[in-house]
Structure 1
Amino acid sequence: MSLTSRIALAGEEGTDPEDILSESLGVVFPDDVTNQHGDPDSWLVYTSPHLPRPLQLKLCQPGDDTERRLFSHYLWNSSLLLAELIERDSYLVGREGGTVEEGDEAGSVGLFNVRGRRTVELGAGTALPSIMGGLLGAEEVLVTDYPAPPLIEALRTNVGRNVTVGLSPLGRVSLDVRVLGHEWGTFPEGDEVTGKRHTFDRVLVCDCLWMPWQHGNLQRSVDHLLKQTTEARCWVVAGFHTGRSKMAGFFDEEALKEEAGCEIEKIWEQDCDGKQREWVKDQQEEDPGTRKRWLVVAVLKRTQRER
């Protein structure tokens, strides 16, 4: 099943997700894959056969050019993929025995389990991966994005509407779920995110690599929030739609070590149909249509510091 098959564009907010689905405008995904989803006047509906009802996701209304250039008013395929991986490893693997799926050359099954763990998402956009974590057993869920009021308001709407017992296949949700503004690499004294230093078992990063000038700030936020334990992990998923060269620098070994205190445990590329291939940092740029189909998936762990 295609990665984009779970998402549909709906009209005005409804009181029942099934009503929204039945009235959905629908989203047609031809061979030229859609990698960004949303419309300022519409909601998105996310369906999964494992959730009791579909999720409803509100998109922010950018207030000015600065907020618009963040591109947080879309849902990107990287968030769709990480949400599926969290669902698979936090819910399905436990129920189905955890066998490695056919075609999983990266050996990724089991890596994305949030049960009993504290998670924080950076540059959350619609917060879909965090919402999935809140529904599937995470102990604490912190959702963050740039502190622009329209964006934070949309995130709080999405979290409040979707992290509910009625939408969880477990019949329970995380009790500690919050939304806070955070500018990457900035830790003012007395700020709530600043106070969360080295708190989280898992840091989630989706489609935040397209701005090379922000890589260092993003890495510093990862370092600040991720626990300093051998079990702590940062999950990074990003699309190639702006070009491989723009995002590849984030994975520079020295920069990751110095700024994030992390190293790469696993990294691979995956397309919208689940096909996997080896990550190649310096590969020649592909045509735009091909780039839109592929994402890079990385699992970072704490660097073992010399004593």
Structure 2
Amino acid sequence: MADDFDTGDMFQDPEGYYPPEKEPSFAEHKMLSGQVVRGNMLWNAGRISSEYIETHAPTLIAGKDVLEIGAAAGVPSIVSAIMGARTTVMTDYPDPDLVDNMRQNAEASVSMIPTNPPSSLHVTGYKWGSDVEPLKAYIPEDTRARGFDVLIMADVVYSHREHGNLVKTMQETLKRDKDAVALVIFTPYEPWLLPQTERFFPLAEQGGFTVTKVFEKLTEKVLFEDDPGVCAA
């Protein structure tokens, strides 16, 4: 008898019950040189980071080894490679779709990356706080043991429970050198949580880093419709 029981459409949601999924879209970041970098999942802090990197490239990026964590679209990494970083490693959480998205964005930008001197751009998954040796393996052997010159961290400190892992990653990837820098740029999309977000910086100081506020910028357009945040670094 049980095999004859038919529920029909009792558990079927009516047509139009859920809002339609948004079509995939791409955002563009226009560099000072006029070149255009495209990618999806481009957050405000990623755009601001890219502008800062391009403006300060001769001293901040050129000839350096660069790591980006929580890269999303990876535009800061792509701009770093275009501006002459020796090595750039673009990472985000090791989800196949996330990594594939970064890889597509990187491949779309290959023609803009210089070859003389060569600038290499790599894409891989990385979970904050995990083993960093696979990341350092991308650095040329002559300086691999020392680590990266620049660490890009755009809109990652909003994940409050990951602050400890972020500091651990900084400690294990950055060179122990006065010129090594972690560029931490964030947008307080939820201003009421700003005190928790800013706890990252004292924690970084406890971890042996010197924290310096470089700028604060009011963005022209919010990322989300109900986003009242500003961008700071």
TM-score by length of 1: 0.59
Matched, 1:150 2:97: yes
What CA deviation, in whole Å up to 9, does each residue of 1:131-165 have, x standing for no partner?
00100111110111110000001111111111323
For residue 257 of structure 1, the aligned residue among 205, 222, 227 is: 205
| 1:172 Cα deviation after fit | 5.4
The structure in which a higher percent of residues are strand is: 1
**Residue 205 of structure 1 pairs with residue 153 of structure 2:** yes
The aligned residue for residue 218 of structure 1 is 166
Residue 186 of structure 2: SS of its match in structure 1?
Answer: strand
- Say if 1:269 and 1:157 are closer, same or farther in 2 by CA, change over 3 A: same
**Matching residue within 41, 66, 77 for 2:24:** 41
- 1:80 and 2:42 equivalent? no
C-alpha deviations, 1:74-131, integer Å up to 9, x for none? 311111111011111226xxxxxxxxxxxxxxxxxx6xx2111111001000011110
Give the equivalent residue in structure 1 for 2:13: none
| Structural mapping, 1:2-81, within 5 Å | 40-52=23-35, 54-57=36-39, 59=40, 74-81=41-48
**1:136 equivalent in structure 2:** 83
Change (3 A) 1:248 1:75: same
3-state SS in 2 of match to 1:193? helix
Shift of 1:55: 2.1
Q: Which has the larger radius of gyration?
A: 2
Residue 296 (structure 1) aligns with = 232
With normalisation by structure 2, the TM-score equals 0.76
1:192 aligned to which of 134, 142, 155: 134
Distance 1:290 1:43, change over 3 A: closer
Ranges in structure 2 where 5+ consecutive residues have no aligned partner? 1-21, 138-143
Q: Cα RMSD over matched residues?
A: 2.5
Deviation at 1:245, TM superposition (A): 1.9
Q: Tell whether the 8 Å contact from 1:209 to 1:215 is kept in structure 2 after alignment.
A: yes
Gap runs ≥5 in structure 1? 1-38, 60-73, 92-109, 274-287, 298-307
Percent of paired sites with the same residue:
22
Distance 1:234 1:129 in 2: 13
Taking the aligned partners of 1:173 and 1:55, their CA distance within structure 2 comes to 21
Contact 2:67–2:152 (CA<8 Å) still a contact in 1? yes
Match of 2:186 in 1: 238
Name the count of aligned residue pairs.
200
